[in-house]
Amino acid sequence: MGALESCTWKSIFIQLANRTSKWAITGLATGFLLYRQNDPASMWAITGALANGATSKLLKQCINQQRPIAAANHARLDPGMPSSHAQSLAYLSTYATIEIAGWSGVNPVLSLALRAIVLSTAAYLAHLRISMGFHTSAQVAVGSVIGSSSAVIWNWIWRAIVEQHAVNLPWMSKAGWMALFVAGSLALARESK
């Protein structure tokens, strides 16, 4: 099979989705944060995403498990366990799913459909990390479990402890959150090169 024959629309789409998923998710989170900039719950969720990303980077360094051999062909030499993409996707999709489930006044069928779309999109993008050879199934599974667990715990901390005090916390200012988000995003992006 020649180079032209292997270059199908499907393969182009898969490669594009895989290469841009990190930036697309970051862009969506930034847009969401700017849209909901006066909402402490949204800012808390995004802060959790940054903490989840930092946890992933720390675990990669501690576990130090190699990526599959195919990843070296793509200049991916950093450790692969857990998959940062899978962990971030799992955190964001699980947190979003919890929030969508709590929307009042929304048709239950629409709520279920939205949650299914969010989770299936995240699962597909995480699976691309395996099919493109960047991670093993175990690396993606561990990242997904850690990310989902982090979302559930972070959401519980918000509802059980932080939410009732959020209005009185001076560090909940818009400027402070934006500075934290930008600094955290830049630090995580720098680490993932």
pLDDT at 49 exceeding the cut of 70: yes
If pLDDT is split at 50, 70 and 90, which confidence band does 44 have?
Answer: confident
Give CA separation, 26 vs 49, 64, 94, 108, 119, in Å.
10, 25, 16, 29, 17
User: Average pLDDT, stretch 90-103?
Assistant: 88
Whole-prediction pTM: 0.73
pLDDT of residue 37: 59
Q: Report phi then psi at 136, rounded to 5.
A: -85, 165
